Amino acid sequence: MAERERPRRLLRLVQEGRLDLLRDELHPEDIPEARSRRWGRLGDTLLHHAARLGHRDVLEFLVRELGMDVEAANGDYKRPIHEAASMGHGECVSFLLERGASVDCLKKGDWTPLMMACTRKNLEVIRSLVEHGANPLLRNKDGWNCFHIASREGHPEVLRYLLDVSPGIWDTESTIRRTPLHTAAMHGCSRVVELLLERCHYLPDSRDKCGVTPFMDAIQNGHLDIARMLLEKHQEGHGHTILTLLSLGADLQAQDGKSRSALHAAVAGQQAEATRILLRAGLRDTPDGSGMLAQQLARKPEVIQVFQESQVTT
């Protein structure tokens, strides 16, 4: 029983960062198994665990004294550097890079360590990866690069750095033609939207594969501050009236690929104020491609009340 418990104890000591006890517990005959043993469904090594939890001293012990491979991959092709980068452990990332870890290695879904780092707000880690040659323009299987990922997470300081080191990085679309502006608008990242409108050159009415614009994303998800920001930028750039701005282009009846208008988007999101703004601007409630009126999507009492107040009939 004691022999069967030894591997678990070693793993626990690595997870807890107990290097002193780990040295005492690890006998010479245990080293080959410790180097090769895998844990969990994905087959993580001790290096994966140490990197994920930020135990730099344990990581160094495992590499220097046990001879573990810094490029060991688990079942998702994730390396220890992916783990350290995704959790923002700068010292672990630096050590792994010094030991020759590949800076642009790919895990499942074609995610690089830099992409993983951009899910967090740790500029030290991001800068270290870039300075060691990480390519910010690489894309994952969904067509996102690290700039797109940072836009989703709402990190303007990370985006500023990426724009400084790669000025054209903003000009990217996912496989379904969504830009970082779409993503930031949908997730309510107002500071990011402000930065993107200031430093990048997105068209406010750019459409994804389904015909959705950043403005429609903002409206549907109730981010009216972002919707107004997009409208003001459009006004400055094209000199249209507020009615033209709300139309997202040619007229108030602008529609997506399923013949849904911005009004459909607002009502589907049960956004009463957004619905009121659009109706007051003169947007007519016309059927979408399936014959559905926006009013028929109203569920919340306050949205239903908006239509009653506006005397919109089905």
Cβ distance 56 to 95 under 8 Å? Answer: yes
pLDDT at 27: 80
CA distance readout (Å), 294 to 49, 177, 250, 280, 307: 51, 25, 20, 15, 10
Q: How far apart are the first and last CA of the chain?
A: 74
Please say if the pLDDT value at position 171 is more than 60: yes
Angle between helices 90-98 and 46-53 (to 10 degrees): 140
Residues 184, 193 contacting (CB under 8 angstroms): yes
Class of CATH domain 1-135: mainly alpha
3-class secondary-structure state, position 173: coil
Condensed to tens digits (0 to 9), the pLDDT of residues 114-164 reads 999 999 989 999 999 999 999 999 999 999 999 999 999 999 999 999 999
Q: Which residues contact 198 (CB under 8 A, 6 or more apart)?
A: none
56: three-class secondary structure by DSSP? helix
Q: Where are the domains of the chain?
A: 1-135, 203-314
Q: What is the pTM of this model?
A: 0.80
Q: Which of residues 100 and 234 earns the better pLDDT score?
A: 100
Q: Are 80 and 96 in contact (CB under 8 A)?
A: yes
Query: What pLDDT sits at residue 284?
Result: 83
Q: Looking at domain 203-314, what is its CATH homologous superfamily? A: Ankyrin repeat-containing domain (1.25.40.20)
The per-residue pLDDT for 170 is 97
**Long-range residue pairs from 94-101, CB within 8 A, at least 24 positions apart, any chain:** 94/128, 95/56, 95/59, 95/60, 95/63, 96/51, 96/59, 96/70, 97/128, 97/129, 97/132, 99/63, 99/70, 100/70, 100/71, 101/70, 101/71
